[in-house]
Structure 1
Amino acid sequence: MFRSFAGDASGELSKELRHLVKRSDQSTYERYGTQTPVMQVVLQQILQCPYQGVTKRVYLESKVWELTALVIEQETQIFQGFLEVYPLRPSEIDCVYHAKEILLKNHDNPPSLIQLARQVGLNDRKLKLGFRSVFGTTVFGYLHNYRMELAHNLLIQGHMNITEVAQKVGYASLPSFSNAFRKKFGITPKSCHR
């Protein structure tokens, strides 16, 4: 099916996509790419599918194709040289994930980049490169996306007012929070608050 979508009339894939299909002599297929925040959202939507029956099947299939499109776009950018991939050792990848956990745990008062790098045993340059390689964004870009998604969910739940939500996600200034929220979602916090 992938060949019929991404291949030419005979089903042949372009050079930049051939490695995405397991060869007959491979026992398993593995791809070491960057899981971007957008990909993570799609994966969460797959895991938290709200539908049943045929609707669930259509929804999940559409999400798999959406994830496939994101992977193809990333592979094309890598092949064309628009996106650099930094090879990381497994221990460095573990450090990057540990840094992510520290950021999320302290999202309302995160450590500086230097402090975070020291806590996980990397230098700041390696942490920045690692974050971009593993998550497809900067360290604080990842944190910002997390804060905004958390704020959006808290506002929809309606158990906290907008000022409380802003403080919960680490904003001391309500106007700064409102601007960041509007920039991320295209709406004001008030318009999605219940």
Structure 2
Amino acid sequence: MTTRLTLNHWQDWLLPGNPDDTRLLHADGCDRIYVCPPHLGRGYIQEIPLQDDLSLFIVDYALTNDLVIDVPGESPHIEFEFLLAGPETGYSLFVPNFGFKQLEVKRSQRRFFKVEVIFKPPTLTDYFQAYLEQLSPQAQSVAERVIQAMYRYQRSGSLSTPVKMLSRVMQGGMASEPYTTFGHVVSDTLHAESVVFNYANRTPISPTMNQVIGQILSCPYQGTTRRIYLERQALKLVSLRLEAMVQPCLTEADLNSIYQAASILRNQLSNPPSIEALARRVCTNRLKLNQGFREVYDTTPYGYLRDCRLWQAQRLLTISDLAIADIAASVGYTNRSHFALAFRQWTGINPKTFQLQAWQWAS
């Protein structure tokens, strides 16, 4: 069973809680506590304000039904998430929020347990820039073009550097229209290339990060001492996360072969070459191609192709009025049922429901 909610604010599906809740690992009177309604599940979200532009979240809940939330465009912020239970357990995600409207799908029967460090303006820009500097040159180039596209969508003209444009974008946010999504702002080609961030934003949690997370969860202090301690630990955790963004250990020639192969797959979604043919086209062999994709994208060439297909399908479901079967065919699925299953496994929602919700935004 799936429950669908349309909200004015992200926390509207939750109930106000109390810092005295015995489920909390530690709390203070200034914390904001939200609890899961009994008819939806159990658990809590704890927001610990550290500075005006910095907050720490401890999230621990499980749902009884799948939950699909129509989320409004939020104020711009970036999140460093550290996932301790649930999907992507053992990984840290970098999640930029530019204020786009989106569907958020929360799956049932899983415990969601994570620590989040959230930055808002003005500090946000410094940490966003630090993240960009850790990306590969290829991903940096895509990121700069995405920032330029968002800046130009907001206003005419341009600024001298991507950092200045980023600062302006994050000050104003992108939710100038109620249905604005990422797919509305960027071109077809740039949207396809931006799939790189689905991989670049994901990093394993290291033992050192785990140690700092443990110190955050077991904080023994109260009052001002607690806030200072948690702020220091949160910033240390983010620094460790940025340092962990290491580049693939490949030669320049091998790396260029992988980038070229990825470009071929992105541009031939409906008629991709075989692995052997793809390897020949980029002057390598099947083994090195598979190993290279693992190094760069943490998946296989076919896994990358599937992600590109579904990434493009999600955009078409959002911005076009094409039939589901036509969208499936355009991204390489000859069987609509196979497409629906793959999309549901990838997003947690079937394509028709996703499309209807997107149409509702634009109406």
The TM-score normalised by the length of structure 1 is: 0.62
Taking the aligned partners of 2:281 and 2:141, their CA distance within structure 1 comes to: 25
Structure (1 or 2) with the greater strand fraction = 2
| 2:276 corresponding residue in structure 1 | 114
Which amino acid letter does the alignment assign opposite residue 275 of structure 2?
A: L
Once the two structures are superposed, the pairs formed by residues 110-149 of structure 1 within 5 Å of their partners are 110-149=272-311
SS in 2 for 1:108: coil
**Within the alignment, does 1:101 sit opposite 2:231 as a pair?**
no
- CA change 1:32–1:184 in 2 (3 A) is closer
Once the two structures are superposed, the pairs formed by residues 78-89 of structure 1 within 5 Å of their partners are 87-89=249-251
Taking the aligned partners of 1:106 and 1:188, their CA distance within structure 2 comes to: 24
Structure (1 or 2) with the greater helix fraction = 1
- CA change 1:47–1:139 in 2 (3 A) is farther
Write out per-residue CA displacement over residues 145-173 of structure 1, whole angstroms, 9 at most, x where no aligned residue. 11101001111113311010000010110
SS in 2 for 1:163: helix
SS in 2 for 1:140: helix
Which amino acid letter does the alignment assign opposite residue 206 of structure 2?
A: T
- CA change 1:129–1:47 in 2 (3 A) is farther
| 1:56 corresponding residue in structure 2 | 170
Indicate which of 184, 189, 194 corresponds to 2:346: 184
| 1:76 corresponding residue in structure 2 | 206
SS in 1 for 2:352: helix
| 2:216 corresponding residue in structure 1 | none
Taking the aligned partners of 1:144 and 1:103, their CA distance within structure 2 comes to: 10
Taking the aligned partners of 2:288 and 2:262, their CA distance within structure 1 comes to: 14
- Say whether the 8 Å CA contact 1:181–1:189 is kept in structure 2: yes
Shift >2 Å, 4+ stretches? 30-33, 39-55, 57-60, 70-77
Which amino acid letter does the alignment assign opposite residue 303 of structure 2?
A: G
- CA change 1:126–1:152 in 2 (3 A) is same
- Say whether the 8 Å CA contact 1:86–1:129 is kept in structure 2: no
- CA change 1:76–1:123 in 2 (3 A) is same
- CA change 1:190–1:74 in 2 (3 A) is same
Write out per-residue CA displacement over residues 24-56 of structure 1, whole angstroms, 9 at most, x where no aligned residue. xxxxxx8687x99xx999888756547798882
Once the two structures are superposed, the pairs formed by residues 150-161 of structure 1 within 5 Å of their partners are 150-161=312-323
Q: Which runs of 5 or more residues in structure 2 are unaligned?
A: 1-53, 55-132, 156-166, 175-196, 210-246
Alignment size in residue pairs: 153
Taking the aligned partners of 1:90 and 1:98, their CA distance within structure 2 comes to: 12
The TM-score normalised by the length of structure 2 is: 0.35
- CA change 1:116–1:86 in 2 (3 A) is same
| 1:19 corresponding residue in structure 2 | none
